[in-house]
Amino acid sequence: MNLSLSGKKVLITGANRGIGKAIAHLFAQQGAEIFLNGRDETALAQLKDELVATYSATVHLAIFDVADVESVKQGFRTLFAVTKSLDVLVNNAGILDDALIGMVSQAQIQQTFSANTFSVLYCSQYAARMMQRNKQGCIINMASIIGRVGNAGQAVYGGSKAAVIGITQSLAKELAAQNIRVNAIAPGFIDTDMAHSLPDDKFQQRLDSIAMGRIGSPEEVAKVALFLACDLSSYVTGQVIGVDGGMLI
């Protein structure tokens, strides 16, 4: 059984900070060849240097906007010129833009679904084509506890993440015969810029709802992503794994 990611080629979207960055660190430590996606080339170049210096990892930049279908197409074209195979796709990029339903604008709906949901379809489509060539692969989608149980003020975000769960379960069924596993992680409240974008009262409310009494770390989400990416989970597909410290919303 191979518990490391040695020799695996991994694309991580939204890798320049938060959960994506933690996944990049852990996967590089485990020997993966990493393709760092995002829009902030300076931050990603800095992360690349960090991963190379710390783990002697092989790291590439994959600069594209996952919310834009043409940008994703061009991004995968560039990636394909570098590597003909992809073992793992982590659809991590996402945005949070809370608003009560009466206040939600059409632009918010479109931006949230483009970044959180359509991006998963766009990237999975291109990645699955690459994985199908080798008859193996693994897709990990970052959903959310809000996509499972909902929350006031989060109809758009919750809907975008519930859709990610539907996509995960459908792709798992569709791609299983080609030995491509598709799973989702549903984080609860994780210590990143996204969590800190909440107003103080909402931040405290979330903390109070966590049975373990503390916010989660991006590294704790990354460990579950590692489980899903490596052979430890070789017979796991179509699952949604909560990483939420017993959060009750």
Which residues of this chain interact with ligand NAP, rule CB under 6 A?
13-14, 16-20, 38-40, 65-67, 92-95, 115, 142, 144, 187, 189-190, 192-195
For the question of residue 157 being annotated catalytic, the response is yes
Instruction: Tell me how far, at minimum, the Cβ of 2 lies from ligand NAP, in Å.
Output: 27
Taking the complex as a whole, the smallest distance from the CB of residue 1 to ligand NAP amounts, in Å, to 28
**Separation of alpha carbons 239 and 228, rounded Å:** 10
Residue 73 vs 134, nearer CB to ligand NAP = 73
Residue 240 CB, nearest approach to ligand NAP (Å): 12
Asked if 192 contacts 18 with a C-beta cutoff of 8 angstroms, the reply is yes
- Cα distances (angstroms) measured from residue 124 to each of 76, 146, 168: 11, 22, 10
Dihedral angle over CA of 242, 151, 200, 218, nearest 10: 20
Structure tokens at 59: 């790291």
- Considering the complex, state which of residue 81 and residue 196 has its C-beta at the smaller distance from ligand NAP: 196
Query: Which residues have C-beta within 8 Å of that of residue 119, sequence separation ≥ 6?
Result: 13, 66, 67, 72, 91, 93
- Asked if 27 and 33 touch (Cβ cutoff 8 Å), the reply is no
Q: Which of 55, 122, 126, 157 is catalytic?
A: 157
CB closer to ligand NAP out of 39 and 176: 39
- CB of 63 vs ligand NAP, minimal distance in Å: 9
> Residue 138, CB half-sphere, CA atoms under 13 Å: how many?
25
237, 183 contact by CB (below 8 A): yes
Output 178 or 219, the one with its CB closest to ligand NAP: 219
What amino acid positions are annotated as catalytic residues?
Answer: 157
